[in-house]
Amino acid sequence: DGGITQSPKYLFRKEGQNVTLSCEQNLNHDAMYWYRQDPGQGLRLIYYSQIVNDFQKGDIAEGYSVSREKKESFPLTVTSAQKNPTAFYLCASSPTGGNTEAFFGQGTRLTVV
Amino acid sequence: AQTVTQSQPEMSVQEAETVTLSCTYDTSESDYYLFWYKQPPSRQMILVIRQEAYKQQNATENRFSVNFQKAAKSFSLKISDSQLGDAAMYFCAYSPDYGGSQGNLIFGKGTKLSVKP
């Protein structure tokens, strides 16, 4: 089945460590996105990529990094520079052109211990 | 900068009744998309309904319909014949029209909908 797969579902990190969240899609979508969700908040855009080997910062990019080496994959690294990394992270993808909405993965819950 | 405001943190509705969730937004653009997403306890984001700003006709999807008032920058969601499975967080979202890509979304803070049996 086509869709977006995020892994792992739950992730624990010690303070000071970098951690990478995986996002893979087999929908043949050009664009991919990372969002962060905190309690009582809507989703906020971290990074997005419209095409392979290119990406742009969203509203809260500080402390995060991404890469887009393949169309199917858009991993997010949460670095030690991120002051408050505990949150729920959602990945999404969408076509560019055409009239189709974004599709979301099932999310990764990151907890700093 | 564009913003999305949901003024109702929580709402409650009796099963089989109708409820309306409010959303206002701010933008200087003329072309954009508006969405309502549902997030159940599984936390999977599910698209409920979408509205293109250039369309005057309000979007409808089965029991879900919107009241889109472009001049007032208002985009409310009406759920008719509410069901227990409708209980969830509902997010209003805005997307600028960047060449058809609709994933660059600005979200409101959400409305938690409870459905009473």
Q: Which residue's entry shows tokens 């700093």?
A: A112
Cβ–Cβ under 8 Å, residues A93 and A28:
no
pLDDT digits (tens, 9 = 90+) for A5-35: 999 999 999 988 999 999 999 999 999 999 9
pLDDT at A41: 83
Question: Nearest Cα to B49, choosing from B19, B71, B76?
Answer: B76
What pLDDT sits at residue B4?
96
pLDDT given at position B11: 97
Instruction: Please judge whether B108 and A32 are an interchain contact, meaning their C-beta atoms are less than 8 angstroms apart.
Output: no
Paired tokens of B52: 């293109």
Give me chain B's average pLDDT, please.
93
CA distance A50 to B20: 35
- What is the predicted pLDDT for the residue at B98? 66
**Record: contact B35-A106, CB cut-off 8 A:** no
For each of chain A's 113 residues, which pLDDT tens digit applies?
Answer: 669 999 999 999 998 899 999 999 999 999 999 999 998 888 999 999 999 999 999 999 999 999 999 999 999 999 988 889 999 999 999 987 666 788 999 999 999 98
Residues of chain B predicted below pLDDT 50: none
Picking from B3, B11, B16, B1, the residue whose alpha carbon sits closest to that of residue B81 is B16
Closest to A106 (Cα-Cα) out of A86, A92, A95, A85: A92
pLDDT of A40: 82
- Interchain CB contact of B100 with A (< 8 Å): yes
Rg (CA), chain A: 13
From A88, A94, A104, residue closest to B102, measured CB to CB: A94
Of all residues in chain A, the one with the smallest CA distance to B91 is A42
Count of CB pairs separated by less than 8 Å, A with B: 71
What is residue B101's predicted lDDT score, i.e. its pLDDT? Answer: 63
Q: Which residue of chain B has the CA closest to A51?
A: B101
Closest-CA distance, A17 to chain B, in angstroms, reads 26
**Residue B110 contacts A where some CB pair is shorter than 8 Å:** yes
Q: Which of A32, A42, A48 sits opposite B91 (nearest CB)?
A: A42
According to DSSP, the β-strands at B111-116 and B10-14 are parallel
B109 contacts in A (CB within 8 Å)?
Answer: 40-42
CA distance from start to end of chain B:
41
- Dump pLDDT digits (tens) for B40-73: 999 999 999 999 999 989 999 999 999 999 999 9
Non-local CB neighbours of B15 within 8 Å, separated by 6+ positions: B82, B83, B84, B115, B116, B117
Rounded to 5 degrees, φ, ψ at B86 are -80, -15
Cα gap B62→B50, rounded to integer Å: 13
For A47, half-sphere exposure in the C-beta direction (CA atoms, 13 angstrom radius) is 19
| Preceding peptide of A85 cis, ω within 30° | no
* Contact yes or no for A45 and B104 at CB 8 A: yes
The two tokens of residue A93 are 């993808």
Which pLDDT score is estimated for B97? 76
Count other C-beta atoms under 10 Å from residue B70's C-beta. 15
B104: chain A residues, CB-CB within 8 Å: 33, 45, 48, 58
CB spacing of A99 vs B99 below 8 angstroms: no
**Closest-approach residue (CA) in chain B for A36:** B107
> In whole angstroms, what is the distance from residue A75 CA to residue B96 CA?
24
Q: Are B106 and B56 in contact (CB under 8 A)?
A: no
